[in-house]
Chain A
């Protein structure tokens, strides 16, 4: 019994030694593999450090803004069409057409991409190539809706990812055909944030999730309906969850 027991102990000891070596090898291989994976994903030269709570505001529907490389979004008052014709009154400043209360926008940040494709295009180039593709003329100055998104689209160096910009334009174009925004919503402060799961071919997986409700369930439903109606969307730069902020102001 004792001999047998000893043999078993030796065998166990020998086996443990083998296993230890084995585990060590596998551990090293696994660590190297994961390290390589992480390096490939994020370690390659990146335009900005990870991870940024990336927020890029988009407004590309009614024509693509021309003064894209404006250093500061100061063009807003001038860019807007003059709001209602002031009456011929003495010493009266014409009021703005819309309520001036505007929700604070989130700070624009550049999107972190693992590997920028050389050569980098600047914003105007990206838009020009997109216009060429869509067969569109240069937008006139009156079509500029808002200077803030313009600033938001550009990173600190004034460079953006043209593929992302193109997709944003295409998504807005697709949703413009399905998002019903009655005029009573046009000067409202309602905003709905959806999380949309977009597959690589552009199809929307399941029903978009309301991440942040506007407080008006019908307005939220409108946004969800718009995405479902527009599916499949144009193929995204990368499949996954995309936050869509529905802002009804013109």
Chain B
């Protein structure tokens, strides 16, 4: 009996990781006064230090 080939097809070209521009990750923040902000995740430390905190939006 012929064994079924279960290997992944590789005839389709794989997308290069660099072919699509990475969307910057942003954080959702609020503060005690009710303001909202969406800074870049990489900048979050400075915002948290001045009283902003994360919120699920």
Query: Do A and B interact?
Result: no
Binding site for B on A (CB under 8 A): none
Binding site for A on B (CB under 8 A): none
